[in-house]
Amino acid sequence: MYKRQGPGGTPSSNAAPRRDAPVPALRPGGQVAIVAPASAAEGAAFAAADWLQARGYEARIMPAALTRSEAPFDYLAGDDAARLNDLHAAFADPAIGAVWCLQGGFGSWRIAGKLDVALLRAHPKPFIGYSDITALHLAIQKQAGFVTFHGPMLAQDILAGKAEPTASHVLAMIGGQIGQGAWIEAPPDTYPVALAPGTATGRLVGGNLALIAATIGSRHEIATRDAILFIEDVNEALPRIDRLLSQLRAAGKFDRIKGVLAGNFTRLGLPGGDAMGQSQLFPLLQEHFQARGIPVLAAWPSGHGDPNLTLPLGALVTLDTERRGLRLEQPVAV
């Protein structure tokens, strides 16, 4: 049976793990908290619980995942306090083995600065989501110091029927079946493009480009020194993507990066659809990155596309454009 979670939590701890530490793997039969830190998708919560249970996990539906705020904030799943309490309760409960986001949308940035960082440090566990959830990934990595997972969301991707290996890859990643030395490679029928060849090793950081840019100037702004930068987005026209990249460049975020992994950029609003739009994005990426002498791999199948491969943010990886993939240089879930 899946459960609805009531309010509650446990006291915080000041214990801090090493930076970018692996998280405890989700075990077979483990309990997964379904959370909605951003927009509402209340009609999908029970279907998501059924999907998890069909794969042998126990589902815990957190309260805000079943609600929607009142206008003018009806794009949010519950008010800020409710969504924040759900996250804290899910991390604090030792019975919960993973925290999985139901939906992206808008609103994660409203609670990122209110996270109980000490609580999260004391209870690291797999945290899965992307898009607007990027704000929480950045906050957790910078303040709490453990690996999080840029991966499919339950309503937005899993229930929407995203192609394999979308679902199997995320379950293998958070379950500890993809470990140190393993390759994350693009599946058949996807075609990453090496815009600048080479290999580079660094921490994998990033997520949704618009959210990364939105955090510049905050205490959660992305740290890119010696990192492999991953970016993706949706509903952003090429001129706006250029502006977002230019903002990051002006903020010095490209000065010391080791490599770039550009994921899905969809709904670009160009003739020919997303496939044509991706190729028109390439010259823009080359202008921003090629002169830096770093490897750049584009059209990578993670983010707002199909399939949506899971990436371990904060983990040490090697980007290899010839192999067209990433090698894990550390464990991410153990």
Catalytic residue status for 131: yes
Q: Is 39 a catalytic residue?
A: no
Name the catalytic one among 69, 108, 131, 302: 131
What pLDDT sits at residue 3? Answer: 54
Residue 190: count other Cβ atoms within 10 Å of its Cβ.
17
pLDDT mean over 16-21: 58
Q: pLDDT tens digits, residue range 110-136? A: 999 999 999 999 999 999 999 999 999
Contacts of 330 (CB under 8 A, 6+ apart): 20, 22, 180, 315, 316
Written as one string, the DSSP assignment of 5-49 is PPS---------PPTTB-BPPPPTT-EEEEE-SSB--GGGHHHHH
Of how many residues is the chain composed?
A: 334
Q: Are strands 316-320 and 199-208 parallel, antiparallel or unpaired?
A: antiparallel
Domain boundaries, the chain: 3-174, 183-328
Kind of pairing between the strands at 296-298 and 127-129: unpaired
The answer to whether residue 10 scores a pLDDT higher than 50 is no
Cis amide bond preceding 165, omega within 30: yes
User: What angle, 0 to 180 degrees and rounded to 10, lies between the N-to-C axes of helices 238-250 and 273-289?
Assistant: 30
With contact defined as beta carbons under 8 Å apart, do 104 and 133 qualify?
Answer: yes
Q: Is 150 among the catalytic positions?
A: no
Mapping DSSP to helix (H, G, I), strand (E, B) and coil, where does residue 239 land? helix
Residue of 137, 150, 220, 304 marked catalytic: 304
Average pLDDT of the chain is 93
- Conformational region of residue 145, where left means phi above 0, alpha means psi within -120 to 50, and beta covers everything else: left
**Distance of alpha carbon 8 from alpha carbon 62, whole angstroms:** 11
Q: Measured between alpha carbons, how far is 131 from 211 in angstroms, rounded to an integer?
A: 8
The pLDDT score that the predictor gives to residue 13 is: 32
Rounded to an integer, what distance in angstroms lies between the CA atom of residue 204 and that of residue 32?
25
Cα dihedral angle (307, 309, 310, 316), rounded to 10 degrees? -160
Q: How high is the pLDDT of residue 94?
A: 98
In angstroms, the first-to-last Cα distance of the chain is 26
Q: What is the mean pLDDT of residues 257-282?
A: 86
Q: What integer pLDDT is reported at residue 270 of this predicted model?
A: 81
Q: Which CATH superfamily is domain 183-328 in?
A: LD-carboxypeptidase A C-terminal domain-like (3.50.30.60)
Fold that domain 3-174 belongs to in CATH: Rossmann fold (3.40.50)
pLDDT at 154: 98
Q: Given 232, 236, 288, 302, which residue is catalytic? A: 232
Token pair of 47 as six digits: 């279907």
The pLDDT-based confidence of 12 (bands split at 50, 70, 90) is very low
Phi–psi pair at 214, nearest 5 degrees: -65, -25
